[in-house]
Structure formats: structure tokens, C-alpha cells
Structure 1
Amino acid sequence: MAGSRLERFGTVFTRVRDLIRSGVIKPKEKPLWYDVYKTFPPKRAPLHVKPVTSPSAKKQEIVPEIFYSEDKIRTFVDKYRELKSHGMLDKSSLFEETGKALLKEGIILRRRGAPPVLAESRDPVLDLKLIDMLAEQQSAGTDTTKTTEDKNS
């Protein structure tokens, strides 16, 4: 019952003093601090002051948008179904085209274990296939060897 009361109904000292006077607390069981407080009371009695809080003083928090990995997967599936419904792409290129379409919208997907690809680093040169690049380099290499043979003869 005493635990439900606040300091506004009396200080701890006055409550303990009254409990000793009424005999609830025996004089041998009184707290250690009681005699010190009785001998050297504070200059001003402690007051309970209810803290002032106004609802307008609270700043409204802005909740940031949260995207979970499930949201990216759901977006991918929706885009995949959309491109599939057009029926213009075959199954092998449908997956890649879905990824490219999402990259244009700013959603970056990555394969598990692969490093992330930044949208800014996306370059048309990256669209070239490795086989085409090797063939181009080999043809350029044979041209340079032919020109060096022509110069030597």
C-alpha cells in the first residue's frame, strides 16, 4: 500500500517517523539514515514537483522507408510476370531483361555471394559479351602482326 504513494503525500522521513511513532517499525529496526536526517535536516523541505510535459513540445518523428529483401524479390517477380505477359521474350532472356528493367528503375539486384553492382557504374560497355570482346582483341592482334610482318619484308 505504501508503494503506491508518491512523495507528494509526505516525505520518506515523515512516513518513517510516523511508522515509528505508531509502532509499526520498532526503534531498533529504524533505518541507518533516520538519525542523521533527524539531526541534520535539509534547509528546504523536498517537494514533489510534477514534471511539465506538453504534447506540442514533442517533435514528430519521421519514419524512414524500410525495404526488406522480400520487397525486392516481390518487385522482381512482379516485373518478371509483366514482361512474360507481353510474350516478346523467350525464357532464357526473360530473366536478364527483368534484371535490366529493374536496374533502370533504381532497384539493384545481386546474386548470392556476388559483389553488389552500383547503378552508377552501369555502362553500355558492360553489355558487350566476353566472346565478342575476345574475338575483337584477337582480330586486332592478327592485324598488328600482319602489319609488322609487312614492315619487316
Structure 2
Amino acid sequence: MAGSRLERFGTVFTRVRDLMRSGVIKPPKKPIWYDVYEAFPPTTSLHVKPHTRPCTKKQETVPEIFYREDEVRAFVDKYTELKSHSEMDDSALFEETGKALLRDGIVLRRRGAPSVSAETRDPVLELKLTDMLTEQRSVSADSEDTMEHTTHKP
């Protein structure tokens, strides 16, 4: 047990000094090194062990949970937003709201009706990241070629 207190409650010098002040250690029984340490204390700071405990629990990421109410709330918010900006009739506005949410990645379906077909979805949503990167590289390579041809004209 004394070994566990060693690193938490001061150095050996401070503990012996406090024991001498309280009278537990009498002056004739003090350690040989005490006078030398008191006369020549270390010039550098002493090593203090950090009091951190290793974390046994890993931080778990909480997955996003979407309930049916979230989709309804998103529909209502988008519907009111589009209604304030346009003067369409309700059925056209309903369809535009569904398309806008589809672009945002929220798929709605009516009760008893089949789910939305993939053809009505925005084609940008179907692009893969690798396809986008190769397209971007080809565009940047084409623009560099055109820059070389325009700068090297005689």
C-alpha cells in the first residue's frame, strides 16, 4: 500500500520533512541524506506521474436514427418553405415537395402506392465517388491541354 501512495502524495523528502515536523521522526533519527538534500535541492523540477486512468470504455459513435416522424417533419418543413416562395396549387406543390426531398435523399411513398422508381430520382445521386474523381481528373487534364495550346502560339 505504501508503494501506491509514493507517487500521489509528494516526494520522499516532503514526507520525511512532514514526519519530522509532526514529531513522528525525532531529529537524531533523521535519514543521513536529509541535510544534504535540504542544503542542495535539485535545480530541475521533479518528475510527477500523471494521474490519468486508462480508459476502459471506448467511445462509441451513436448511429443516426431516423424515425417515420422525421420524414414527415422534413416533408412539412419543405412544403411550407416551397409554399412561401411559390404560388402553385396544392397538388403541384405536393409533387414538387416530394421531388425536392428526393434530391435531398429522403424517399417518400404514399400508403398503398409503390415506392418511388429510380428513374425519377436525380441522376447526380446515383454517381459514385470514383466516377466523380475520374471525371474531375479528365476535365482538369483537358483544361491543362487547352492552356498549353493557348500559351505556346507563335
Q: TM exceeds 0.5?
A: no
Question: For this structure pair, what is the TM-score category when the shorter chain's length is used for normalisation?
Answer: 0.3 to 0.5
TM-score, with length taken from structure 2: 0.40
